[in-house]
A and B are shown apart, each in its own frame.
Chain A
């Protein structure tokens, strides 16, 4: 039962352009959604979150959009930098405390 899905395993973007990472979910009971960035051999690093009652949250170059009717969220990174190259995971927070993660999207930002 895959409650959170990231259908694109990889994404390649030119430096300075926008990166858009997508995530779909099936569980309407998630109260928060989060994005994490992960480098190889390291733990996930928290990037940005959004409450299920909001439709947008912005923090510097990172913006997360939530479309509840479509059960879809996206992370926009503008402008993209080579240091943004990593695997990005979206996660839904279950009110009981657990995070349910997608499979991840590997972002490559080319100079």
Chain B
């Protein structure tokens, strides 16, 4: 049973470019969460999605960031016009189908975004 998959593992973008981060949840999981870890800090919640639905985006910056989890395919975290402050590790997690088990979140290996 494959775990949470994220790609790419490393992404380098110049200021002003777009970054697209992908996440495939564990088999049987339909809830996806994105977290960001800045250097020397803990993980910070960004957004919680179900298929075709955003449940909670209270941690998303108001501009340039968006997330989706389409009916088919992986979840995508999109950052437009990246700035140096976006450089961080972005982690995706998934949890089982029943929302009452949303505390059981399993993490992927992360995408390390570097903005030059």
Chain A residues near B (Cβ < 8 Å): 4, 6, 31-32, 34, 36, 41-46, 49, 89, 91, 93, 96-104
Contact = CB atoms under 8 A, between A and B. Distances in A.
Nearest to A51: B103
Contact of A97 (B35, B56, B108, B110): B56
A43 B56 contact: no
Query: What is the interface residue range for chain B against chain A?
Result: 20 to 34
Given A98-B48, A98-B59, A46 B106 contact: yes
Contacts of B102: 93, 97
Given A97-B99, A98-B45, A100-B45, 4 more contacts: A42-B110, A43-B109, A98-B59, A99-B105
Interface of B: 4, 6, 31, 33, 35, 41-45, 48, 55-56, 58-59, 91, 93, 95, 99, 102-110, 112
A34 B33 CA distance: 16
Given A97-B55, A98-B48, A98-B56, A103 B103 contact: no
Contacts of A44: 43, 91, 107
Given A43-B108, A43-B110, A97 B31 contact: yes
A31 B103 contact: yes
Contacts of B58: 98
5 contacts: A43-B108, A44-B43, A93-B102, A99-B93, A100-B45
A46 B42 contact: no
Contacts of A101: 35, 42-44
